[in-house]
């Protein structure tokens, strides 16, 4: 499967709305999390390491979400009935997100797609991509809280290809910084105009 075969994946297309932020805003955000050229290098290495482990990573993440009813709730009809097709569609995009995090240049297209992802978590576009009847909004607190499990659980996968402990740590730190930046960007729709 290629990225173009993933339903709802529109990275780099005219369908993606322009982020209210520009590349200078992105550069400032990078500086705020101490993200630099070395992090880009180690994210690329992480991409090489993770490429054939995507499904295993997703199994861990989906196991985590699936074990917590208050998180599965966001994939339900609001009455506790989980939508397996919705979960499967999001899973494919989540796998592509791992690759995008590691391999895409952090430029205006990346910034724009981060904005799109934020809109898809917020009531503006939640459910629209997959045409589902689910709860209308993901509470912001879980976007922020998810930084930890998405970061902590990736490290064992980064260590599976024989890289030194120092290289694994550099890949992990680059991943952590990227996830923090992305969650910050996904938060934009939740923040009152003028406060972001």
Average pLDDT over residues 118-123: 98
Q: Is the pLDDT of residue 78 over 90?
A: no
pLDDT of residue 46: 98
Q: Is the dihedral of CA 147, 86, 69, 50 positive or negative?
A: negative
Structure tokens at 113: 């797609």
- Sign of the CA dihedral 10, 15, 17, 18? positive
Cα gap 170→192, rounded to integer Å: 35
Residue 98: which H helix or E strand, with range? helix 84-103
pLDDT above 70: percentage of residues in the chain: 99
Q: What is the pLDDT of residue 79?
A: 86
Question: What mean pLDDT value characterizes the chain?
Answer: 96
Radius of gyration over every alpha carbon of the chain, rounded to an integer in angstroms: 16
Retrieve residue 77's tokens. 């009809």
Cα 18 to Cα 26: distance, rounded to the nearest angstrom: 13
pLDDT-derived band at 1, boundaries 50, 70, 90: low
Average pLDDT over residues 23-42: 98
Chain position carrying tokens 């339903």: 7
Contacts (Cβ under 8 Å, ≥6 apart) of 1: 92
Domains of the chain (ranges; CATH) run 17-190 (1.10.490.10)
3-state class (DSSP) for residue 82: strand
pTM of the model: 0.96
Could you tell me how many helices (H) and strands (E) the chain has, helices first? Answer: 10, 0
């Amino acid at each position: 499967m290629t990225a173009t075969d993933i339903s709802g994946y529109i990275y780099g297309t005219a369908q993606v709305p322009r982020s209210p932020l520009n590349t200078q805003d992105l550069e400032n955000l990078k500086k705020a999390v101490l993200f630099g050229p070395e992090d880009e290098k180690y994210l690329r290495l992480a991409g090489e390491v993770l490429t054939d482990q995507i499904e295993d990573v997703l199994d861990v993440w989906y196991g985590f979400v699936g074990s917590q009813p208050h998180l599965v709730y966001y994939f339900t009809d609001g009455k506790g009935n989980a939508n397996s097709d919705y979960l499967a569609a999001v899973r494919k995009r989540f796998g592509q997100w791992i690759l995008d995090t590691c391999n895409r240049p952090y430029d205006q297209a990346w910034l724009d797609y981060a904005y799109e992802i934020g809109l898809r978590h917020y009531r503006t576009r939640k459910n629209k991509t997959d045409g589902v009847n689910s709860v209308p909004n993901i509470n912001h607190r879980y976007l922020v809280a998810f930084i930890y499990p998405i970061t902590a659980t990736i490290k064992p996968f980064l260590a599976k290809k024989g890289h030194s402990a120092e290289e694994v740590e550099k890949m992990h730190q680059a991943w952590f910084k990227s996830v923090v930046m992305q969650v910050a960007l996904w938060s934009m729709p939740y923040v009152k105009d003028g406060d972001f």
